[in-house]
Amino acid sequence: MADYNLADIKRRMDGAITAMKSEFNSLRTGRAHTAILDNVTVEAYGSQVPLNTVGAINIPEPRMLSVSVWDKGMVAGVERALRESNLGINPVVDGQTIRIPMPALTEERRQELTKVAGNYAEAAKVAVRNVRRDGMEGLRDMEKGGDISEDDHKRSSGEVQDATDKHIADIDKALVIKNEEIMQV
């Protein structure tokens, strides 16, 4: 039974890393990337919807994004949503296409983004540690209930700790890579 829990613990820890990498993709690095617009929502037909449901997002140039809005009436709403997104972008309307030039990042902004990336990494570490705590509590309860022996508890605890250490190291590696990408001019 402990092996099943270990697989579940590893799956949950992997989920924390996946969520962190998704958050990393939303950080601007000075290059155009469609994931930058993943968190932008637009007021459409009486509700907030993701930007990619009202238009196609493309990368025509390395430092340019374009959004081809499908409904002419939505162009102003999409432009407003992009301006209010706090991404530091300045969209330019060209008919039903909105062009978004990606300005070069200042050194100060790069430093801010590395701090944000660090916060995302720390949140992922906390999530991994919470999964570890749940696993350790489950093992302790199984030992108290007589489901596993003290030796099995020690062995399984070591496996959970090894998984935790591996996932924390993976988070640290991903953070170093993301910081290098952000600081690259």
Q: Which two tokens stand for residue 35?
A: 């994931």
pTM more than 0.85: no
Q: Quick one: pLDDT at residue 104?
A: 75
Q: Which domains does the chain have, with CATH numbers?
A: 2-25+106-183 (1.10.132.20), 34-101 (3.30.1360.40)
| Contact call for residues 157 and 148 (beta carbons, < 8 A) | no
Q: Quick one: pLDDT at residue 2?
A: 42
User: Which residue type is seen at 165?
Assistant: D
Residues of the chain with pLDDT under 50: 1-3
Collapsed DSSP state (helix, strand, coil) of residue 94: strand
Q: Give the chain's radius of gyration (CA, Å).
A: 22
